[in-house]
Each structure stands twice: as C-alpha cells, then as structure tokens.
Structure 1
Amino acid sequence: MKKPAIAVLTIAALLALTTACKKTSFLDQTVTSSLDENSTFSDSSNAMQFLNNIYVDIGFASDPRRFTNSAGTYWGGLEAACDEAEGPNAASTNGFIQFATGSVNPTVVPDDAWKKCYTDIRAVNQFLKHLPVIPFNKALKTQVSAEARFLRAWYYSILMQHYGGVPLIGDTIYTSANNIEVQRNTYKECVNYVLSELDMAAAVLPTTWTGAQYGRASRGACMAVKARVLLFAASPLFNKGGMAAGDANLAGIVAYPDADPNRWQLAADAARAVIALNAYQLFVDSTSKPGELGYGFQELFTKRYNTEYILPRMMGDNKYLESLWDVPSRGGSGGSFPYQEMVDAFPMSNGLEITDPASGYDPQNPYQNRDPRFGYSIMHDSTMRVTFGTNQPSPLQLYINTAGTSAVASSGDAVYKGTPTGLYIYKMVDPNVINNSVGNTARVLPVIRYAEVVLNFAEATNEAVGPTAEVYQSIEAIRQRAGLRPWQLPAGLSQEQMRTVIRKERRLELAFEGFRFWDVRRWLIADQTENQTMHGMEVSRGQGVVYKPFVVRKHNFTNAMYLWPIPLPEIAKSPELLQNPLY
C-alpha cells in the first residue's frame, strides 16, 4: 500500500505546536498535548486553541530563521538564498546554500513548504469537519469557519509560489490507512480555488481586528492575499506554460498554458479594492525625529500596532531579530549579512542613482546623503548606534585597522571577523533593544503590509495599461514616505522605464522581508540576478580611509530553480505526482 504524499498529523501533535517566542493575544493560551479528538472538539477552549495553532506557521516561508544547520546554531532566510545577503556559516549544508550555489535538487531541497502547508491544510479540514459539534454560538461558528478557510487558502498560496499547481485535497482528511493517489491540479484550478475561498471568507470577516483579536484573519487580509495571488498569476513565470512551455504534461500544471493580458488588470483591480477600504495607510512619522526624513520607515517595524500591517505574525515581547541580525558586540549572532550590491542599489537622498554624475555621490564618503531607507535597512562601518544606558550614540567599528605593522580587525564586529561582507542587516531591528542586555520589543513581524499592496497595484496597473497618473502617485507615495527629496519621478516615463522604477522600489522597500527571492523568479530575471559574483566592503583605516570591495561568493542559478522541486520522498510515495520541469 502506498504511503500518503500529504502529511498526516495527529490531534495531539497539532495541539503541541508552539512558536519560538511566547504567544500573546489570541495565541496566548495554554496548550494541552494529551487530548484526543473528542475532548478537543467537544470543548470550546480546546477547539479554539486548535484553530489558533494553525496560525503558528503563517510566516514560516519568509522567516529569517527558516533554514538552519543541523546543530541549529546558524539561520538564514530567503534573503540568503538570493542576491540580498550572504548566509551565516556559509560552509555548512543547508537550504540557503543550495539556492545560492545552484546545487538544489529533489533529494536535498528543504521540504518545509510541502510538509507545513499540507499539515496545516489537513488541520483546517479537521476543524471544519468537527465545527458542527463544537460548542460555539452561531455567530462564532460563522467567523471561525471563515478564518479556517482563509488559512487554508493562505497555505495553498504558499505552495503555489513554490511549486506552481499542487494537489487540491478539498475537505478530505487523509489517514495513514488511506491508499492515496494524488495528482497535481492545474495552476488555473489552484488559483480559482484559492480565490473562491478568499472571497467567501472576506464576505464574512470584519475589515480589521483590534485589541486581543489583532492578528486574526480579516477581510483586509483576504483581499490583500487575493491581490498577491493574482499578481503572481499575471507574472511571466506563470504564463505561457512557464518553465514547462512545450511540455504537454506540465505546461498547464506549473502555469497557465496561455497568456492573457487581462490577468494584470485583475491583479490591479484586486489591489485597488484593498486601497479603497481606507483601512490602511503608509506609516509616516514626521514629528518624533523631525530632522530624520523617512523615520516612519524604521519606526513602523518597532510598533506592534500600526496603520500599515494588514496581516502580522504575532509574537510576544521578544528580541527575535536583535538576536539574529545585530552585531556580535550587542549579542547578535547566526544571521545573514547584506551584499555590497544591496548597498549600491540604494540611490542618493535626491533619488538619483549613485552612478549618475549629478547625484552628488562621493566614493570617499559612500554612506552620506543616501536614500534614508539605506541607513534603516543596513548597518555599515560608522553606523551610529546608541549604547545601552546612555543617549550617546557611537559608531560601529567594522573596519580593518592598518595603522600598525599589520592589519587587524578593529573589533569583534569587524569585517572578516563578525561579518563576511562588512555589513549587517538593520531592517526591522529595534534600535532601542540590545540582545545581550535588558530590554525587549513588542514588535510583531509583517506578513502583509500596505506598502506591498501599493506596489502590487502600481506594477499590475503599469503592466495592464501603462504608467498612468495612479501609477505615478503610488510610487511617489512610497518614495515620499521613504524620505526622498524630491520624491517625484520624471514625467513622461515609458511603460518599460516605469517597470524598472517599480522593480527597483520593490527591491528597496521590501528588502529582507522575503520578497526579492520570489520577485526575480516571477519576472523571469533570476537567471540574470542570481548568476552574479557578489561582493562585500572592506573599510581600512590607517593613513586615511580606504573603501575596497571584495569578492564574497559567486552565485549560480539554473532555469530549473525558477520553481522548487517537489521533495523526492513525496514523489516516491505517489508516483502520480509529476516533478517540476528540468529536475
């Protein structure tokens, strides 16, 4: 008898799921791991906890700790699997190294996307099956049914990003006794199913949640996920058969077999609908630090509640990112490190590229007068950081000291010692929290935020009808909040020129949030961006200051890597599963 390809999880195991940080709000409840199916769903508290546990994995795909080594001492996320950052302990074998080096294949590919998503989809099906007997009132049953169906659609959307079309199992609850023959549904069928589930949930749920229910699925979240799914569905990777073009067996499974320009309009309309809710806005703070343009871009990530988060990943007071991305002297360790190419991507504060002779860029002072998002996203030599217990900032010492007889690292944080690139990720790190000292942040992590919706709208509209006034307004709103002065774009941009602008804004605004990995794939440009030699920056001080780029890693990419391979054990369990093209 064949073993099931879809992950099977027991009630007890589901109830034992926990997050890496203490839960709060609706996730902050005692978890009992010794319950059977009857006691789980016959008790309202246990049943609600079962649903809440399905939320736990909601941010796993973009988690900066997604990939780990066998000892669990080094972590990397999708930023280390693309051209954003170098992963930690790069000599180890883990998921991000496989993508960086082009060595990923069905035998070694991380299987978390397949297993986690189908485990949670099965949990949703269990919950919906037992919902009639759960002692909830009618209104609550209607609400939680919609939440569950949102979560099911969410996990299918993650599967589609990774693999294209996947098996749709409906409301079926497989067990180990089942003889399961699963086949992949077409990409079109998957898109239609997810959209229908999201529409159903959106019709029931409130636009937003507040108080203790903050973080639950809402109408706004349903609509934002719909806009994201339609954006992917309109993108080149998922049209004209994608990477399986010409393959009669796979072309309709991994992508639409045809190309319909109207798909861009559908994506634009879906993003416009989120904007029209008037429930969200870009977070701007021009008063807390009036001398620091774009400060809201940094502050929003330190706030538990803000006007921009549509779907947050809930967690209790924590040092989650400070322990990962901050410099070693402040207790950070084990995370990823930005490449110099990411530094160079940020323009000057006047919006001009550093390669533009009119930009004012000074190679001897390369960090001055840059796009404020640069300073809020990346720590470099001489980044000013406040020392705990004082209000006096001091510069990070990441340079090589060449004043003596031999060059030595200036500190444990320095290039070649604390960082392999000479840089650290600052994005979303709370500047007032130090991991190896007292203090925590109430921060939660963004899964969907309004800036993404605005960028999705701009991209889809530009592809559908060109650079309209609304496209200009959307991108300029992002640039204005970022602190660029002037923030206005040149008039008369062509569709292609605006496409370049939009893609650049996505790279900067959404850096280190798990978007770049997918964007370069859905645009079909990863064979260019991921086949590059990546660099770091060595700063030397002695007789003057010298900035010297150096090679960190040559990234390699094959066309097979536009989609993830289905893990080989899953293919072995169900030969009916067709493997993705070129693997």
Structure 2
Amino acid sequence: MKKLYNLIFLCTIGLAVFSCKKDGFLGQTQTSNLTEDVVFKDSVNATAFLTNIYTSIGFSEIGNRFSNGGLDVASDEAEPYDNSATTTIGFANGSVDANTVSGDAYDKCYNNIRAVNVFLKHLPQTPLKDVTKAELKAEARFLRAWYYSILLKHYGGVALVGDTVYNYTDKIDAKRNTFEECVNYIVSECDAAAQTLPVTQSGLLYGRASTGACLALKARVLLYAASPLFNDPSPGSDTPLGIANGDQKALVGYTDYKASRWEDAAKAAEAVINLGAYSLVVDNSTAPGYGFQYVFTKRVNTEYIWQLMRPSNQELENIYLPPSRGARGGGFPYQEFVDAFETSEGLAITDPKAQYDPNNPYAGRDPRLEYSIIHDQSTYITNTSLNQTPINIYTVNGLGVGVDAIYAGTKTGYYSKKMLDPAAVPNSFNVTERCIPLIRYAEVLLNYAEAINEFEGPAKAYEPIQKIRMRAGLNPYTLPAGLSQADMRKVIQHERRIELAFEGHRFWDVRRWKLGQETQTMQMTGLEVKRNGSGALLGYNHINVRKHGFKPALYLWPIPTSEVAKSPLTVQNPGY
C-alpha cells in the first residue's frame, strides 16, 4: 500500500490554468506549489485544481503507456516495439508478478481520488455560486468514480476511502472492499453526478464530465460486473478465478451468479441510447466505412461521450507511424488480428463462400482493416510532402529494402493506423484537432447488444450490431436470421475486437469473458512480403513472432508487492 499511504501523507497542489484557445479547458497546463488555503479562497484557482484532475483520465488505455505500446501489446493485438517494459512483456508471455508489475494504476488513481476529496472538502468555502458548486461537485464525484473503475478492472475490489482526506498522523484502514461494494459505490456516484450535470458539454466545457459520461461509465462497469470473470455461471463455481480462497473470494468477484446483472447492464446502456444525444458518425459515400476513420480525426463529434482532451497534436502519429514517417511504430499488429477482419460481404476469410484471395489478401476486406493497419504498399504522406507515397515493408532475398521493412522497422510486417489522421505526420506542420476517445457511442451499442443477448437472447441485439456494421461499410451489413444466443455472442465478441481495436478494450474483454486460455496462449505470427528487385510480388511467408502465455492469475493484476507489504490488512490477488 505504499502509494496509498504516500498519497495520504502528501498533497501536491497542481493548478491547470484555462485557455481560451479552441482546444478547450485543457489547452494549457501549468503547475504551482500553492497551499490549499490559497487555492480554495480563489474561484479560478479552485476550478483549475479540479481541471488538473482531468489530465490523467486517459493514462490506462493510451498507446504510449509503458513506453512500448500500452495494453495493445500486452494482449493478442500487437507485438511490442522492444522488450524494455516488464509489465507488457510479462502479460504477453504469462510471467508477470507482483514484484515486476507496474504500479502506475495504483499510483495515479489513488492520487487523483485524494485530489477529488481535497477539492470536495474545500468546495463549500470557495467563492463560487451555488449552482456552479453543485456542478463542480458532480464533476468531481464522477472523476472519482472513473478512477475507481480503473482500479476495479485492474485489481478487483480495492479500498474505498469515501470522502476522507487522511493526514500522515491518521490511522489508515488499508482493508480492501469487496468487488460488489466497489461496483455499487461507482454506480451510486455515477447516478448522483448524473442528476446535476448537463446531458452533454459544449464550447470551452467540451470534455468535462456530463450526464452522458456518467451513464456510459455506469453501463460499462455493470457490463464488466455481469461478465463471467466476476459473475461466473459455471455450475458449482464459488470462486471467480477458480483459484481464489478465503478472504480473496469476495474481493475478485461476486460469490454467486445472478442473470439479473446482465439485465442491469442492458438497462444502463439503454439509458445512454435513450438520451438521444449521441449517434455513430456515418459516411459511406466518400468511401465505404469512411466514417469509421473520420470520427477519430475530429475533436467534436456525435460519437464521443467521454474523451481525453488534447491541443492540436501529432500524438498518435508519433506513437504508431513507421520510421520513414518520423516515428518508430508503437505496437506492431499481429497476423492473427489482420486475419480476424471479414470480407467486405461480412464473411470470415476462412468461409468457403468468401471471395478471399490469399494472393491479394487485403482486397475486398472489411473497410475497417485499411483504417486500422498499415501493410506493405499502404500509402501515407511524408513530413515534406502531402502526396501519398507507398510504405515499403517487403524484402528482397530475405532482406528489407528500407527503414520500414520487416526485420528492420516492424517485427510483424504491419504498423498500426487506427485513429491516425491521414493529414498529419510527425516532424511537420501537419497536425490534427483530435482528442483521445475514452467512451464512444459504438461501445455503448456493443455493451447493450452483449448484455441483452445474455439476458434475453439475440432478438434485440441485431439492431445495434447492424448499425455498427453498416457504418463500417460492410455490404450486406445485416446478420443472418435465426442466430442462437451462442452464435450472437461470437458475433458481438468479433465486432468488439474489430471496432474497438487499439482503444484499450481487447486486454480487458478477453479477461472478463474468461477467454485467456483460448486467446492468450497462441503462437503469434507476422507476414513477410517477398518481392524481386523490380518490386514484383513473389509471395508471402508467415513467420513466428512470439509465443504468448497465460495462467489464471493473469485475469487480474497483482497488487504491487511494495503496496501489500505496508499493511497486513491488504490481501493480495490469487495466484501471486
């Protein structure tokens, strides 16, 4: 519990100063070591204190977490740039433990939770109008719920500190609350905050918490809670992980199964849908599935419900683009991920009815594939020209012909393209107005489809899934009639894998579905494209990249040893 104790002993006052620039309330951030008394006697400083708590909301899912690809490379989506980050490599090969795991989630979340509590403690004395105080209090409670939700999916039940602001002289209760208590607390905080906040935010307040964000977080948390990892339907199952015992059981999930938890999740997602405030960004006239790319290039759009605000930037381009475009490639997509994309007619490439040509593997595929990966001869602008030029990943006589080639730049034959702005590139004047999505409407539709399928069966799951497939540009986008619940479950899991790729979902999805042994133990591969000296295609060579490993303990993160050692009340997660 080192970080929990440290954050209780110390409070560093960070002030985020508003900007009137078009990038909004996080446009500029400055820090200053002012005392609490000074900060909260001034309305601007007090509001800026709350603003500063927003700056870390995206740390868990962003692609540069751990410096080598984030959670994408800790799952079956992509291969890391290098082996320098022990946390991602440990999850990939199944060797992570409490001594080597990163404590960033524990640290950042509890520090921000304490900052919320400091803010709530002083807010009543701050010189602000009552209506403003009410809205800021609601924002703070949502932010606290957000950080607890990150802790929950990492560790299961964690210590709930309520509104308490501990000092170093106080006796600290480091006992973890049960998983159920944490879920109920997050849901209640979201419900309370939603009563006060506007449905959406706009103008300079765009990016701040809203009713939509509160209800969407509630829906996500309830979906996770209803899932097999935490709500196990297996006959006779009394431990969510199969390896928990004693005091661990209630910490890592429910100790009973209730189908009604799926109903709760479905109703929560439906509540977001019924707001009528959000919709998918659709544009199949410019190009099939173009809306799927376009949405990620625009800061303000109808699909973003909760997002990490950014000034004009090249952030993701710096993470993911190949060396010839000024980056190094963040995580290199696996061939298994590429193969998961269906044909443009919505058929698996292994389906005998599919018009899939292995000698022209990227033609006639789900349009989202071209918007998600860079393969050999994909085109992209350079830092000196807006002209689209080919990216050479192929080999000649087993050797790459440039910095982007397999074995030289990428380890798998691919680079990630998801969420990149095709008009932006590092080291140039081209930037994007993009912010980073944390919850978008497509996820809400998928959440509803999954929950209602598990509770009632597939009938009501068709519409939301088909909306997503229509936006993707699949033709036909409709699903076969008469799908069973099990068949629809596979469809939903497939759509989440494709639609939400590289947004930080896959790592958590395969865990909450308890598919670790199935999806995280594979030999992951890449693709070498072979050409002759003139550039003519000679063929393809599948290569082994990394053998993944998994054990039941990896369904949850270990609490760092340094934290557990601080108190005998802190129970470690099972298997560590």
TM-score range, shorter chain: over 0.9
1:209 aligned to 2:201? yes
Shift of 1:148: 0.3
Matched, 1:298 2:293: yes
Separation (CA, whole Å) in 2 of partners of 1:35 and 1:244: 49
Aligned partners of 1:53 and 1:510: how far apart in 2? 28
- Mapping 1:501-580, distance limit 5 Å: 501-542=491-532, 544-580=537-573
Does residue 459 (structure 1) correspond to residue 444 (structure 2)? The answer is no
**CA–CA distance in 1 between the matches of 2:230 and 2:330?**
32
Q: CA deviation at 1:391?
A: 5.9
1:437 aligns with 2:428: yes
Residues 32-111 of structure 1 mapped to structure 2, 5 A cutoff: 32-68=31-67, 75-90=68-83, 92-111=84-103
1:307 aligns to what SS in structure 2? Answer: coil
- In the alignment, is residue 426 of structure 1 matched against residue 417 of structure 2? yes
**Which piece of structure 1 moves more, 320-329 or 234-243?**
234-243
Q: Equivalents in 1 of 2:289, 2:81: separation in Å? A: 30
The residue type equivalent to 2:467 in the other structure is: A
Indicate how the Cα distance of structure 1 residues 16 and 107 shifts in structure 2: closer, same or farther if over 3 A, else same.
Answer: farther
Verify: 1:449 aligned to 2:447, yes or no. Answer: no
Q: Alignment partner of 1:540: what SS?
A: strand
User: Quick one: structure 1 residues 248 and 94, their matched pair in 2 at CA, closer, same or farther if it must change by over 3 Å?
Assistant: closer
1:7 and 1:118 in contact (8 A); partners too: no
2:266 partner amino acid: A
Cα distance between partner residues in 2 of 1:516 and 1:281: 23
SS of equivalent residue, structure 1 residue 143 = helix
Q: Secondary structure at the match of 1:480?
A: helix
1:243 to 241, 246, 250: 241
- Which amino acid is 2:281 matched to? F
TM-superposition CA deviations, 1:372-398 (whole Å, max 9, x none): 000000000011224566664332111
Seen in structure 2, the aligned counterparts of structure 1 residues 3 and 120 have a Cα distance that, compared at 3 Å, is closer
Residues 332-358 of structure 1 deviation map (CA, whole Å, 9 limit, x = unaligned): 125111001110000110111110121
Residue type at the aligned position of 1:550: I
Match of 1:487 among 474, 477, 494: 477
Greater mean alpha carbon deviation, residues 516-525 or residues 186-195: 186-195
Q: Which residue of 2 aligns with 1:72?
A: none
Q: SS at the partner of 1:243?
A: coil
Gaps of 5+ in 1: 69-74
Alignment counterpart, residue 259 of structure 1, candidates 253, 257, 260: 257
* Residues 30 and 551 (structure 1), Cα distance of their counterparts in 2 relative to 1, 3 Å cut: closer
On the 8 A contact 2:15/2:45 being kept in 1, the answer is no
- 2:236 counterpart residue number: none
431-440 vs 256-265, which deviates more? 431-440
CA distance, structure 1, for counterparts of residue 404 and residue 446 of structure 2: 35
Corresponding residue to 1:173 among 165, 188, 206: 165
- Note the 1:182-331 alignment, pairs <5 A: 182-240=174-232, 241-243=239-241, 247-287=245-285, 289=286, 292-331=287-326
2:466 corresponds to: 476
1:142 corresponds to which of 115, 134, 141: 134
Counterpart of 1:393 (choices 388, 395, 398) is 388
In 2, Cα distance between the equivalents of 1:264 and 1:93?
Answer: 36
Task: Pick closer, same or farther for the CA change 1:284–1:93 going to 2, 3 Å.
Answer: closer
Any idea what the Cα deviations from partners look like across 1:405-451, whole Å, max 9, x if unmatched?
xx431211111101111100000011111112221111001000000
Which residue identity does 1:507 align to in structure 2?
Answer: R
For residues 184 and 253 of structure 1, what CA distance do their matches in structure 2 show?
7
What does the per-residue CA deviation read over 1:168-225, in whole Å, with 9 as the maximum and x for residues that have no partner?
Answer: 1111112222232310111111111111110000000000001000000000000000
Taking the aligned partners of 2:16 and 2:114, their CA distance within structure 1 comes to 14
Q: Find the counterpart in structure 2 of residue 348 from structure 1.
A: 343
In the alignment, the residues of structure 2 paired with residue 3 and residue 87 of structure 1 have an alpha-carbon distance, to the nearest angstrom, of 29
User: CA offsets per residue over residues 137-161 of structure 1, 9 Å max, x none?
Assistant: 1010000000000001111111110
Describe the shift of the 1:66–1:30 C-alpha distance in structure 2 as closer, same or farther (beyond 3 A). Answer: closer
Distance 1:244 1:46, change over 3 A: farther
Cα deviation for residue 32 of structure 1 reads 4.0
**Structure 2 counterpart of 1:77, which letter?**
G
Offset, 1:528: 1.4
Distance 1:3 1:445 in 2: 30
CA distance 1:137–1:375, change in 2 (3 Å): same
Letter in 2 for 1:257: T
Q: Match for residue 235 of structure 2?
A: none
TM-score by length of 1: 0.94
Aligned to 2:400: 409
| Distance in 2, Cα, partners of 1:233 & 1:408 | 49
Alpha-carbon RMSD across the aligned residues, in angstroms, is: 1.9
Where structure 2 has 5 or more consecutive residues not aligned to the other structure, the ranges are: 233-238
Deviations 1:462-496 (A, max 9, x none): 0001001x211111110000010000111000000
What SS is found at the alignment partner of 2:543? strand
CA contact (8 A) 1:235 1:522 kept: yes
Moved more, 410-419 or 505-514: 410-419
CA contact (8 A) 2:9 2:166 kept: no
**Distance of aligned partners of 1:261 and 1:113 in 2 relative to their CA distance in 1, 3 Å threshold:** same
Q: Secondary structure at the match of 1:238?
A: coil
TM-score (norm. length: structure 2): 0.95
Partner AA of 2:150 in structure 1: I
Taking the TM superposition and a 5 Å limit, the aligned residue runs for 1:2-41 are 5-8=4-7, 13-15=12-14, 24-29=23-28, 31-41=30-40
8 Å CA contact 2:321, 2:329 repeated in 1: no
Q: CA deviation at 1:249?
A: 1.4
Write the distance in 1 (CA, Å) between the matches of 2:191 and 2:379: 47
Q: Secondary structure at the match of 1:86?
A: strand
CA contact (8 A) 2:558 2:573 kept: yes
Q: Percent identity?
A: 53
Matched residue, 1:71? none
Aligned residue pairs total: 565
Offset, 1:102: 1.2
